[in-house]
Amino acid sequence: MQVLLLATLAGYALATFFRVREKVAGQSFRHHSTFSLALGLTCNAILAFHNYTSSELHLHYETLFIAGALSLGITTAITEHGLKETFFSIFSLPGSIVLLFCSTFADGTLAGGHFAQRWFAVHLLLSILGECFFLIAAISSVTYFYVVRRLKKKNRLRAVFFFPPLSRLDDLTCKLIGAGVTFFTAGLAAGFYGNYSYFVSFNPSFKHMFAIVVLAFYTFIIIARKPLKITGTRLATMAVIGFFLSLGLITLPDNQEHWQPMLQQTQEAVK
């Protein structure tokens, strides 16, 4: 597994290097960057699958970090090939590298038979994918603010040369939020289906309700964008606020209820 981890890190590191070279030097390394990203994603996927299936009744924190790295990598690939934009890869791929490094120091497990169920794996991956798209939408928004600031300082050449145009950033932010809503909705649906079908008694916790609030917030942005003219700095601000709201799903104190929604006196039962 150490070989897989090193291969994943090498793939993501090379993919980042080639993308930075493309932006800075203006040279095309299409085949090199595609192969290195494919190498990183393949090794990351194998590593995540091995870690997840190696323990049937436990979920290691290490697996969560590896799944997060894989989700960022998948989000990067979708953004590059679906939206034809490589700028955000400069940030997302190093994020995957950081998560992989953190996985080597992560210690501890979460217990529960539901972690071995396929629906939980689907719920976990889709939910994290949604979060990753929200993250990149926030990065797009912060970039928007930075470019606006540069243009106001009349540093037009540097602002336009390296960063995507403002109209492009605005459009990308909206599309990234839309992709995040799609994956996040699918992840929540898989989670609620699994909880109601797997547990004898399931009582949604505050964290489950907060996840719905986050989803509703992003859905509102998509629906009300044209009627309320949520564009430019307004859209960027709401995208950043939404991402910080979504971080609450990780930092809120009732993690145990989120990962173990079953009441203590309730026994597990597979239908």
Domain boundary among 81, 111, 141: 111
Under 8 Å between Cβ of 175 and 140: no
Percent of the chain with pLDDT over 90: 46
The reply to whether 72 and 135 lie within a common domain is: no
**Which pLDDT score is estimated for 270?**
42
State the total domains in the chain: 2
CA separation for the pair 70, 214 (Å, rounded): 23
Q: What is the SS3 assignment for 222? A: helix
- Interval 7-57: pLDDT, tens: 999 999 999 998 888 877 666 667 778 899 999 999 999 998 888 877 666
For residue 110, pLDDT beyond 80: no
Q: How many residues does the chain have?
A: 271
Residue 239 sits in which domain range? 120-271
Provide mean pLDDT across the span 209-219. 93
- Interval 152-195: pLDDT, tens: 776 555 555 678 888 999 999 999 999 999 999 999 998 888 87
**Tokens 């009744």 appear where?**
57
Q: What is the mean pLDDT of the chain?
A: 83
**Which pLDDT score is estimated for 26?**
66
**Distance set, CA 271 to CA 108, 112, 197, 265 (Å):** 29, 16, 6, 18
The reply to whether 237 and 144 lie within a common domain is: yes
More confident residue, 232 or 2: 232
Which distant-in-sequence residues (6+ apart) come within 8 Å of 251 by Cβ? none
The reply to whether 194 and 265 lie within a common domain is: yes
**Tokens 């960022």 appear where?**
72
**Which pLDDT score is estimated for 160?**
56
**Least confident range of 75-89, 143-157, 229-243:** 143-157
**Which pLDDT score is estimated for 111?**
66
CATH number of the domain to which 66 belongs: 1.20.120
For residue 231, pLDDT beyond 60: yes
User: And the tokens for 118?
Assistant: 């396929």
Query: CB-hemisphere CA count at 13 Å for 120?
Result: 21
The reply to whether 99 and 136 lie within a common domain is: no
The reply to whether 148 and 217 lie within a common domain is: yes
The reply to whether 64 and 149 lie within a common domain is: no
The reply to whether 151 and 60 lie within a common domain is: no
CA separation for the pair 15, 88 (Å, rounded): 12
More confident residue, 271 or 140: 140
The reply to whether 128 and 105 lie within a common domain is: no
- Interval 63-89: pLDDT, tens: 889 999 999 999 999 999 999 888 899
Domain boundary among 111, 135, 166: 111
User: And the tokens for 10?
Assistant: 């090498």
Amino acid (one-letter) located at 152 = K
User: And the tokens for 96?
Assistant: 């995957």
**Tokens 């928007």 appear where?**
144
How much of the chain is helix, strand and coil, in % rounded to 5? Answer: 75, 5, 20
**Which pLDDT score is estimated for 59?**
74
CA separation for the pair 240, 179 (Å, rounded): 16
**Distance set, CA 125 to CA 31, 103, 131, 205, 244 (Å):** 28, 16, 10, 21, 20
